Chain A
Amino acid sequence: MSEPTDLVRIEDVEKDYRRGGEEIPVLAGVNMTIPQGDFLALMGPSGSGKSTLLNIIGGLDRPTNGAIYVAGERVDTLSDRELAAWRARHIGFVFQFYNLMPTLTAEKNVDLPLLLTPLSRSERQKHVAAALAVTGLSHRAKHFPRQMSGGEQQRVGIARAIVTDPTLLLCDEPTGDLDRKSGDEILSLLQALNRDHGKTIVMVTHDPHASHRATRTLHLNKGLLEDHPME
Chain B
Amino acid sequence: MKFFPVIWCGLKRKKARTILTLMSIVVAFLLYGYLSAVNTAFNMGVTVAGADRVVIRHKVSIIQLLPASYQARIERVNGVAKAAHMTWFGGIYQKPSNFFPQMPVVPADFFEVWPEFLLPEAQKQAWLRTRTGAIVGRRTAEKYGFKIGDRIPIQATIWRQKGGQTTWEFDLVGIYDGAEKNTDTTQLFFRYDYFDEARVQAKGSVGWYGARIQDPNQSALIAQAIDQEFANSPEETKTESEGAFVQGFAKQVGDVGAILAAILTAVFFTILLVVGNTMAQAVRERTEEIGVLKALGFTNTLVLWLVLAEALMLSFSGGIIGMGISWLLISRGDPTGGSLPNFFLPSHAFVSGFILMLALGAATGFLPAWRAMKLTVAEALRRG
Q: Which residues of A contact B (CB under 8 A)?
A: 55, 58, 60-61, 80-81, 84-89, 91, 93, 95, 99, 101-104, 108, 111-113, 115-116, 121, 160
Contact = CB atoms under 8 A, between A and B. Distances in A.
Contacts of A81: 299-301
A55 B378 contact: yes
Given A60-B381, A61-B377, A81-B300, A103 B9 contact: yes
Interface stretch (B168-176, B287-295, B322-330): B287-295
Contacts of B231: none
Given A55-B378, A115-B3, 11 more contacts: A61-B377, A61-B378, A81-B299, A84-B294, A84-B298, A87-B296, A93-B295, A101-B6, A111-B5, A115-B2, A115-B6
A100 to B, nearest CB: 8
Contact of B9 (A95, A101, A116, A160): A101
B234 interface: no
A93 B9 contact: no
B133 to A, nearest CB: 71
B297 interface: yes
Given A80-B299, A85-B297, A102-B13, A121 B2 contact: yes
27 contacts: A60-B295, A60-B377, A61-B376, A61-B377, A80-B300, A81-B301, A84-B300, A85-B299, A87-B295, A87-B296, A89-B297, A91-B297, A93-B295, A93-B296, A99-B289, A99-B381, A101-B9, A101-B292, A103-B8, A103-B12, A103-B13, A108-B5, A112-B293, A112-B296, A113-B297, A115-B3, A116-B298
Interface string B1-38: 01101101100110000000000000000000000000
A86 B298 CA distance: 10
Contacts of A116: 296-298
Contacts of B295: 58, 60, 87, 93
B220 to A, nearest CB: 63
A115 B297 CA distance: 10
A51 to B, nearest CB: 9
A60 to B, nearest CB: 4
B289 to A, nearest CB: 6
A80 B303 CA distance: 13
A102 B6 CA distance: 11
Contact of A99 (B5, B13, B288): B288
B204 to A, nearest CB: 79
